[in-house]
Amino acid sequence: MADAEAFIREFLPWFRPVPPTRPGVCRICHSGPNNVGDTGGPWGICVSCKCTTKNLYGHTQQVVPISLMTKNSQLYDLLVRRTDPRGAGGRRNRADVLAAALSHFYHRHIQCLEGLAGGPFTLVATIPSNNPEAPGKAFHIMWQVVGKVAALKRLWQPLLLEPDTTFARVLAARHSHRDAFQVPRAGRLDRARVLLVDDLFVSGAHVQSAASALIENGAAAVVALVIARLINPASKDPYSAGIWKESCERPFTFDRCCVCDPARGGA
């Protein structure tokens, strides 16, 4: 996408920095874990990630959100309420805004992402829709967004298919399932390094179910790149409120991500 940096600049206040992995930050989704009962120290991963990574063939430990997000924010409106934002130049196309953010982040942090994958990506995948009300819309907006980013478009393939809507309500209930998605032509992913791109990480049920299908069909590595990780500062865990407060106090910049950010302060 041409001049993604200039396009996304006016929307920078919508984004919040994502903390790097450290004690008190879930090493998978970068939210706040609960404490271990016997020691009082934080778990390595949050309760949600514990739930969505079990009973799968495999899962990804590598989730890279571009931004944190809370409900009733402008980024939430863009991603969840699916509104086209209004910028200085008038109404902006939602897909263009997401593509600009994705393109700018990817080009700034391709080495971070490839480092997690163990080498250059060989395939890019997006997650199909699981809306039981509109089963014909197999690929939601992210395949269009990826199509606007030349570096990702050339590697994108429709790797994931939803067999039917059987598991739609399972995923909606924030439970993952190893059969939620299918990979056509089994075996084509032999040793592939896959960048799995999605718009929103809430519980991780969609991302981990998709990652499981890719790994089960031969992918050597799956790194999930998501636009935003939804966080609840009012959570009962002792860390999320501090993570959000810290995120709001630090200016967002595309120059750092949760992989290369040197910050190690307490949440």
DSSP 266: -
User: Considering the domain boundaries, does residue 42 fall inside one?
Assistant: no
Domain assignment of residue 34, yes or no: no
Is 209 within the bounds of a domain? Answer: yes
How are the residues of the chain apportioned to helix, strand and coil, as percentages rounded to the nearest 5?
30, 15, 50
Give the whole-angstrom CA distance, residue 86 versus residue 92. 6
Pairing of strands 90-91, 86-87: antiparallel
- What is the reported pTM? 0.93
**DSSP letter, residue 83:** P
From residue 63, alpha-carbon distances to 42, 81, 91, 160, 178 in Å are 19, 23, 31, 18, 18
The helix/strand/coil state of 199 is strand
Give a yes or no: residue 41 inside a domain: no
Residue 182 maps to a domain: yes
Residue 80 is part of which domain span?
Answer: 4-11+48-236
pLDDT the model gives residue 135: 43
Number of domains in the chain: 1
What's the mean pLDDT when you consider all of the chain?
90
How far is residue 44's CA from residue 189's CA, in Å, rounded to a whole number? 30
CATH of the domain at 119: 3.40.50
Whether 131 is covered by a domain: the verdict is yes
Interacting residues of 104 by C-beta distance below 8 A, sequence separation 6+:
4, 5, 8, 254
- Position 19: which residue type? P
Task: Report pLDDT digits (tens) over 153-194.
Answer: 999 999 998 766 788 889 989 999 999 999 986 557 889 999
Helix/strand/coil (H/E/C) assignment for every residue in 92-135: CCHHHHHHHHHHHHHHHHHHHHHHHHCCCCCEEEECECCCCCCC
Given a cut of 70, the residues of the chain with pLDDT beneath it are 1-2, 130-139, 163-164, 185-187, 263-267
Q: Contact, 15 vs 74, CB < 8 A? A: no
Does residue 151 belong to any structural domain of this protein?
Answer: yes
- Residue 214 located in a structural domain: yes
pLDDT in tens, 3-38: 788 889 999 999 999 999 999 999 999 999 989 877
